[in-house]
Structure 1
């Protein structure tokens, strides 16, 4: 692991309000950065977030922002969109993203649902804000066949992001991803439930990992044999737009907890936040929601997400995991209202003007919020909190990394 400068997102921000938000966020972490515990045990932190899913409106925002910042590449700058979470992501010893779609070429063409093809500039932004590695197994992994998988992984390599879940060769598929995190060998494995209307190509069944308890057990054992001390599973599963985990999710979670030695399970795919739960000593994050997305019909829930913050501490030769969560929100500008004269009407105070991903608690720490802004943010925080705790995780110590401000 290499050290990362704090608050690099400042270069993306050019309004005084955004600057205040980041400066507030830069000081909130308070001793959770992964130093050795008081007893001298080894310890490190992991930040893991939800789906990165770039819809056309977000590409348009990146184009607008590039004109303002003069940054980015080929006319797109995703920095301002993502900057609000940089203080959290960059502070973790290991930061894991979920790259759900296929990455395209810098100037396009780009595609949305059902076969995603997104700008490669988002990968550079993910690296810039502090991500170290991405899971790439999803139901969209093979939207554009082998060529799409290869281009996605080539792009992640080019910006310095590790990756696992989809592969260019069978040898790669059999080689565990193990990252040195403060002297601890941490393996990441990534699996998905299926690939929509697409099938794995003949002769390349190894192209993307598909959910199967036996295959996951084998991947974990392979990682342990390669020296992994901790194994983290990223898994694409569940029902879209359902905050409650499905019965198959719950059953599979119990199989994973009881029949494998996986240390942490982080879930994706639902596009809404789902709870965390400790199952037989193993923390399961059923669904982290969307990190960033803009669905055709936003529901509020699809704009909310969670950054899971996990502190691993070695005690007596075993790894204990202390979970926290950071509610996030993609702020969506409303469609412009047209006045009687046929021109766009002015925006109301507190109305969102640009797509921005924010750390909800950090934003609520600002003293320049309107009542409308404060209400919107509090609703997001409280709704995420209610979901996160609705399987009784509070009794096992789950709580927000930063409490809801008064």
Structure 2
């Protein structure tokens, strides 16, 4: 099996001071390249549905009185810049007029999918512990709604035949496959006769899915995986073990993790980039913890070399702004945020405008804390992870 991560093909340069040094992989003449943006969980809590209703009143847009466009607009400059943008749709969607449900049995407005597509996402992973919250009807509604707005999807299926298909996309002339696997909810497991509806994580199934992707001509394979423990900024032993196995026993080129709802490290494992968790792209937990509102967009640059693919990793920090709770008739405190919004942190810090010093400090905290979590397994050293500039 040919691994699609680059092997440093290098010449050695001997010096008395530092011995032999490997040089950067050399781009293949006429070689192809592309960029991938990926983010964490999209988790629509009831407060975000209420926000979409207020925004629809203001914009006059959306469908059935809900407009999620303003909620996600802040990440469009980053997401739309990528050649391939991958989201994680955590929950099933219902009908445009509801009814809707929050935790623990999510059923969210399909209008969120329009906003996801509009900010630039191309495809989404759908395997999660909430996939089967509303049974096969929820899965069918979700995938059909994704088809309607033009979003690709992988990780769940409406039929056994669909479960065998592989999501392979042409990205700048490169065939890129996207796979999605998850642990299964103990509350709403798939019935034995519907096990094909959700890609449940196992090493053998991941290996077989990659093999099918390669048979379909995939030159690059990206794996989204729902794993780990919620609200822990360090990957679990099982995450570390699976990441090591993937890097040693498969040719998968990139691993994108989610489920913890907080940011975990990005690390190169045996030459393969692993983002253990990118936190939440958008969520509004009943008890916001600060770190649950901070997320990261992973940005990965694939460059063809003589020996495969060289992958560089970058990131952008995001923050979900949450307005303070007030009683009916009360005014918001002066200088506070007024709406739920997903922001690209660096863009705000570059142009803070008339933001209060308190809010600027909050953005700085998000940038510094997220960077610390991402680097917690040594990625800024030889691995080369660094913040992404929109000017690149």
1:365 corresponds to 2:355: no
Give the aligned partner of residue 150 of structure 1: 140
Structure with greater contact order relative to length (CA < 8 Å, sep ≥ 6): 2
1:244 corresponds to 2:229: no
- The alpha carbon displacement at 1:344 in A equals 1.0
Q: Give the match's secondary structure for 1:101.
A: coil
Q: Give the match's secondary structure for 1:301.
A: coil
Q: Give the match's secondary structure for 1:204.
A: helix
Cα distance between partner residues in 2 of 1:278 and 1:74: 45
Give the aligned partner of residue 385 of structure 1: 371
Cα distance between partner residues in 2 of 1:152 and 1:317: 40
Q: Give the match's secondary structure for 2:221.
A: strand
- Report Cα offsets for 1:76-108 as digits up to 9, x if no partner: 000000000000111100000000001011000
**Contact 1:189–1:234 (CA under 8 A) maintained in structure 2:** yes
Greater mean deviation of Cα atoms: 108-117 or 194-203:
194-203
Greater mean deviation of Cα atoms: 37-46 or 222-231:
37-46
1:118 corresponds to 2:108: yes
- The alpha carbon displacement at 1:347 in A equals 2.0
Task: Describe how 1:313-352 pairs up with structure 2 within 5 A.
Answer: 313-336=303-326, 343-349=329-335, 351-352=336-337
Against the structure 1 CA distance between its residues 371 and 144, is the aligned structure 2 distance closer, same or farther, given a 3 Å change threshold? same
- The alpha carbon displacement at 1:372 in A equals 1.2
Q: Give the match's secondary structure for 1:205.
A: helix
Cα distance between partner residues in 1 of 2:28 and 2:157: 41
**Contact 1:140–1:196 (CA under 8 A) maintained in structure 2:** no
Task: Describe how 1:217-232 pairs up with structure 2 within 5 A.
Answer: 217-232=207-222
Cα distance between partner residues in 1 of 2:93 and 2:186: 17
- Report Cα offsets for 1:205-228 as digits up to 9, x if no partner: 110000000100000000001100
**Contact 1:61–1:355 (CA under 8 A) maintained in structure 2:** yes
- The alpha carbon displacement at 1:366 in A equals 1.1
Cα distance between partner residues in 1 of 2:282 and 2:189: 27
**Contact 1:192–1:235 (CA under 8 A) maintained in structure 2:** yes
1:402 corresponds to 2:382: no
| Matching residue within 118, 134, 156 for 1:128 | 118
Q: Give the match's secondary structure for 1:284.
A: strand
1:267 corresponds to 2:257: yes
**Contact 2:28–2:306 (CA under 8 A) maintained in structure 1:** no
Cα distance between partner residues in 2 of 1:303 and 1:254: 29
> Which runs of 5 or more structure 1 residues have no equivalent in the other structure?
1-36
Give the aligned partner of residue 7 of structure 2: none
**Contact 2:324–2:332 (CA under 8 A) maintained in structure 1:** no
Give the aligned partner of residue 22 of structure 1: none
**Contact 1:186–1:232 (CA under 8 A) maintained in structure 2:** yes
Give the aligned partner of residue 45 of structure 1: 35
- Report Cα offsets for 1:20-46 as digits up to 9, x if no partner: xxxxxxxxxxxxxxxxx7953210000
| Matching residue within 276, 280, 289 for 1:290 | 280
TM-score, structure 2 normalization: 0.90
Give the aligned partner of residue 98 of structure 2: 108
Cα distance between partner residues in 2 of 1:337 and 1:107: 27
Greater mean deviation of Cα atoms: 360-369 or 38-47:
38-47
Task: Describe how 1:23-172 pairs up with structure 2 within 5 A.
Answer: 39-172=29-162
**Contact 2:332–2:338 (CA under 8 A) maintained in structure 1:** no
- The alpha carbon displacement at 1:346 in A equals 4.5
Q: Give the match's secondary structure for 2:201.
A: coil
Give the aligned partner of residue 19 of structure 2: none
Cα distance between partner residues in 2 of 1:196 and 1:157: 28
- The alpha carbon displacement at 1:402 in A equals 3.1
**Contact 2:28–2:304 (CA under 8 A) maintained in structure 1:** no
Q: Give the match's secondary structure for 1:354.
A: coil
**Contact 2:352–2:360 (CA under 8 A) maintained in structure 1:** no
Give the aligned partner of residue 12 of structure 1: none
1:279 corresponds to 2:269: yes
> Which runs of 5 or more structure 2 residues have no equivalent in the other structure?
1-26
Give the aligned partner of residue 187 of structure 1: 177
Cα distance between partner residues in 1 of 2:272 and 2:142: 31
- The alpha carbon displacement at 1:276 in A equals 0.5
Q: Give the match's secondary structure for 2:35.
A: strand
Q: Give the match's secondary structure for 1:126.
A: helix
